Chain A
Amino acid sequence: MIEYEAVIGLEVHVELSTESKIFCACPTAFGGAPNTHVCAICSGMPGTLPALNREVLRYAIRAGLATNCEITRDGKFDRKNYFYPDLPKAYQISQLYLPVCRNGRIEIGEGKNKKTIGIHEMHIEEDAGKLVHDPEGNCTLVDYNRCGIPLIEIVSKPDFRSADEVTDYLERLKTTLQYIGVSDCKMQEGSMRADINLSVRPVGREELGTRTEMKNMASLKAISRAIEAETKRQISRISAGKPIKQQTRRWDDDKGVSFSMRSKEDAHDYKYFPEPDLLPLRVSDGMIEEIRREIPELREARRARYIKELGLPEYDADILTSSFPLVRIFERTAGICGNAKEASNWIMTDLLKLLKDEQVAPEDMHFPEDSLGKIIRMTSEGVINRSVGRRVLTELFGSDTDPITYVKDNGLAMVSDQSVIETAVDRAIRENEKAVADYLCGNPKSLQFLIGQAMRHLRGKGDPQSVQKILFEHLEKRR
């Protein structure tokens, strides 16, 4: 029985989060009615000229520095020619010969499973438009809003041997790119997508097998399943003595199988040549140093600081720094409520539970950054009690409503009026003679039950300390 291993390389496309497109001033905002973020330049009208967005080069260099790449000093753009409706100019401006960054690396794994994944190169290019099949007219509809959005393509070396290594790398790459602010890496909006090159070979053999490619994968789960299925498919073919064809395959995640895509003949002859409409790039030492200074504290350093300076438990620091949107909301929340531990507790217990229940990734969370801080502050100032706070968080999650206004408008402020609490306590005692008797016989659980009943009469808004105090006094009077 021959043992096989998979050899996997990744090409990851990441949309840069600039405000405008790479060669024109059209907005890069996601969504928008079809073809409303399009001008004469990005729709490829004759006679127009591209003008490079300064931030695109800076972001690409920042991404390269954060992944230990060498930065190319004298770069240029090349023209990749192909005729397809998603590309109105019939060429894509890309970088073939002198990519902006080369020879980087990312560490994956923990402890003795630590491993370095090499980055072969990182190049800048423009995104293409979106094609939508129209079953009604049996035709294809083209939307150029995405056309000209700046991308970096990060090409790894074929250093992966398993789906787990690939997802670990993608998670870390995503975290790093989010930390340095070059991309939001929202896989569900397509701002991060991966092409997977995979071949198998007997363990111990140096020579690579024939590889297949799966393009435009946009979910970690799908990537992981696709790698496992493709590895199995190739091994079973080889074991049965059948050849592997070099081809592009499309992964159908619902069915859990991949299909060979009809290959466009000659699809790989792009007739590259230097882009004549753009001047060569020149990157100075000064520019690199300036960009290096802009790189914020990355995950490992931040994690250590949270533990050492803020006194957070290791586990909490680990989770909070795992994604930059969480870092942002944590730091903002701690800033507003003035208590890092309290902010961390609320995020670790309540916010993460909400994200999990709603199946939302932190970067896809639609929740104003100062909302949680305001809720915590209201609880610590005694405006609302903690359970109302939790309720406000749940109800406002995914909404733009200000929590302070929400508490006011819905009358959720804590009831601390003694006479109102006394009425509720009286009623709880009157209606639950048995629990009262149990308490007087020494069953402490009955006290919790009676507090719950009194709280219920206060519609959950009672000041818990006052409720407990008044109830206790009333019960003791009955002894």
Chain B
Amino acid sequence: MIRMTDIHEAPPEPASIGAEQIEYLEQLARIRLSGEEKERTARDLSKILDYIEMLGELDTEGVDPLSHPVTTEPVFREDKAVNDDRRDAMLRNAPEHKDGCFKVPKTVE
């Protein structure tokens, strides 16, 4: 679990994404990019950040934070269980399975 304080302690991200940042994101997202992909991703992400930065120019004094653009009342689902067991069909999507379970590389505890 993470606390509010942990969030505040995290270093602010630079507006422009460099190679180091891309490697960090690769690790977090568990993906591997080629050299060319890294460069392109860094360029794209920097552009996206610059674009979003424009919002910083607005004066938001006295404006409440908005967490969702839709303001209607939430719709709930009633607590009724329906067992839609389609395990075999679902497991067919997996590269490997065993004993009704998804089979993945050994995880380190």
With A20-B80, A84-B107, A139-B106: A33-B75 Cβ-Cβ less than 8 Å: no
Q: How does the 8 Å CB contact mask read for A120-152 relative to B, with 1 for contact and 0 for none?
A: 000000000001111001111111100000000
**Which applies to chain B's interface (DSSP): helix, strand, loop or mixed?**
loop
> Using a Cβ–Cβ cut-off of 8 Å, how many residues does chain B contribute to the interface with A?
44
Give the shortest distance, in Å, between B53 (CB) and chain A (any CB).
17
Additional A-B contact list (6), CB under 8 Å, known A38-B85, A85-B102: A27-B83, A35-B87, A38-B87, A43-B90, A85-B104, A140-B104
A299 interface hit (Cβ, 8 Å): no
Please indicate which of the listed interface residues B2, B6, B24, B67 has the most CB atoms of chain A within 10 Å of its own CB: B67
> Using a Cβ–Cβ cut-off of 8 Å, how many residues does chain A contribute to the interface with B?
65
Give the shortest distance, in Å, between B70 (CB) and chain A (any CB).
6
Q: Are the C-beta atoms of A270 and B102 separated by less than 8 Å?
A: no
With A25-B80, A35-B101, A37-B83: A153-B1 Cβ-Cβ less than 8 Å: yes
Within 8 A of B (CB), among A256-303: 261-262, 265-266, 268-272, 274, 276, 278-282
B-contacting residues of A (Cβ < 8 Å)?
A: 11, 18-20, 23, 25-29, 33-39, 43, 51-57, 76, 80-81, 83-85, 96-97, 131-134, 137-144, 153, 155, 195, 250, 261-262, 265-266, 268-272, 274, 276, 278-282
Q: Which of A29, A54, A131, A265 contacts B76 (CB 8 A)?
A: A54
B28 interface hit (Cβ, 8 Å): yes
With A38-B87, A132-B101, A269-B28: A280-B68 Cβ-Cβ less than 8 Å: yes
Give the shortest distance, in Å, between B86 (CB) and chain A (any CB).
8
Instruction: Specify the chain B residue showing the minimal Cβ separation from A123.
Output: B1
Within 8 A of A (CB), among B1-46: 1-2, 4, 6-7, 10, 24, 27-30
CB-defined contacts of B85 to chain A, threshold 8 Å: 36-38
Q: Which of A25, A54, A142, A282 contacts B101 (CB 8 A)?
A: A142
State the total of A-B contacts with C-beta under 8 angstroms. 148
Give the shortest distance, in Å, between B88 (CB) and chain A (any CB).
9
Q: List 5 A-B pairs, minimum CB-CB distance, nearest first.
A: A141-B101, A54-B76, A27-B81, A55-B79, A20-B81
Q: Which of B76, B83, B106 contacts A51 (CB 8 A)?
A: B76
| Bound-state Cα–Cα, A261 to B107, Å | 12
With A96-B2, A138-B106, A141-B102: A279-B75 Cβ-Cβ less than 8 Å: yes
Instruction: Specify the chain A residue showing the minimal Cβ separation from B29.
Output: A83
| Bound-state Cα–Cα, A28 to B82, Å | 10
CB-defined contacts of B87 to chain A, threshold 8 Å: 33-36, 38
B56 interface hit (Cβ, 8 Å): no
Q: Which of A26, A132, A155, A282 contacts B84 (CB 8 A)?
A: A26
Give the shortest distance, in Å, between A3 (CB) and chain B (any CB).
28
| Bound-state Cα–Cα, A222 to B33, Å | 44
CB-defined contacts of B4 to chain A, threshold 8 Å: 96-97
Q: Which of A28, A141, A271, A272 contacts B103 (CB 8 A)?
A: A141
